[in-house]
Structure 1
């Protein structure tokens, strides 16, 4: 029998998964209040993860942190989040993230040498996300992006350039639809 996401036992196990992360990673995982971590979440912290109050991660999240990630208070990350950080990702307060959203603070750097594709490392640039942000389903946020406060990013958008405050953005690449 499958339990409902908001059932009592689901919440208890979500808190236990959260506390397990603290035991596993110690000072690399810091938080102001206990949040929730959904089922099948895979979180790897080589750098650090700092969370504000009331931060929740949905089911099947994959978080791989070699750098520093700071997330403000009252943030919700829906199912199937993918966050890969090599340097720095900073997310403000009151941020709602839809399902299947990806954050990447890096690109792969390849060149062609002697008719062969050669990996040269990563091109890295931090991501800064302001307060009061709503990120729709299937959005991709790429390296070097700065998102101002009070913004909405529509479903299936690819954010490849900065977003000003009080903006509604959508598309591939995301463009401004109107002011909020």
Structure 2
């Protein structure tokens, strides 16, 4: 799939004039976060556990929310049971049709950022997921889904607008990048920034392990049970149960043989 040629227009911020109900929601949000958002340690966690169900679209039981975080469009954010939200994180679903859903038994550590960014962007985090510190997830109007039991290591970046699906029980190590977009550069007479982008999407199937610093480019599917060595750049599909290394990533063995 190829986008419109204007990249700047694609990623331009939206402007929506607030309705009366939206203005009241923002006032309510400011009151709640102003009262409870910066109170540290256990008293703050207990107060936020009491007040934040009024803030989010849904907030389950035994949720621990640390201090100093920013929740934008909280009426479009759903939090399951037994979820831990670390310090100074940002969850931003404040666009038309945006949604962030964090399911049961999941932890999200400090300085994680999740942005829907454009209309109808969705970020879905399934059950029993671990998201380590500094992870950056930007749907850019697409859909990012992280499957049950998966772990996303420190400072990993996942970016749309192509859809990204990480399967169940996957491990993605620190400083990896999953980029479901790519610039078109076929015409040497036209500036690259004016040639548009692709957004074919990325699928990482169940039980995959991506080593430190792996980069996965747009349009790639990594088959079930595959291992990608540290520093590899994945530019084409990887068959199931493969071990792949290098730039570009090449299959060197099969785990099921």
- TM-score, length-scaled by structure 1: 0.83
Per the TM alignment, residue 50 of structure 1 is displaced from its structure 2 partner at its CA by 1.3
Determine the C-alpha separation between the residues in 2 that align with 1:51 and 1:36: 10
Determine the C-alpha separation between the residues in 1 that align with 2:250 and 2:90: 40
**Higher helix content, 1 or 2:** 2
**Larger-gyration structure (1/2):** 2
Q: Is 1:124 matched up with 2:199? A: yes
Which of 143, 160, 165 lines up with 2:240 in the alignment? Answer: 165
Determine the C-alpha separation between the residues in 2 that align with 1:49 and 1:23: 9
Q: Is 1:141 matched up with 2:216? A: yes
Determine the C-alpha separation between the residues in 1 that align with 2:200 and 2:93: 30
Q: Is 1:153 matched up with 2:224? A: no
Structure 1 residue matching 2:212: 3-state secondary structure: coil
Match of residue 3 from structure 1: none
Cα deviation, 1:110-169, whole Å, max 9, x if unaligned, reads 44447x555222112110111000000000000000111111000000000100011111
Match of residue 74 from structure 2: none
Per the TM alignment, residue 87 of structure 1 is displaced from its structure 2 partner at its CA by 2.2
Residues 105 and 127 in structure 1, CA contact (< 8 A), matched pair in contact too: yes
Structure 2 stretches lacking a partner, 5+ long: 1-41, 46-63, 67-82
Structure 1 stretches lacking a partner, 5+ long: 1-7
Q: Is 1:63 matched up with 2:144? A: no
- TM-score, length-scaled by structure 2: 0.60
Match of residue 159 from structure 2: 84
**Higher strand content, 1 or 2:** 1
Determine the C-alpha separation between the residues in 1 that align with 2:124 and 2:162: 14
Count of matched residue positions in the alignment of Structure 1 and Structure 2: 171
Match of residue 50 from structure 1: 124
Per the TM alignment, residue 83 of structure 1 is displaced from its structure 2 partner at its CA by 1.0
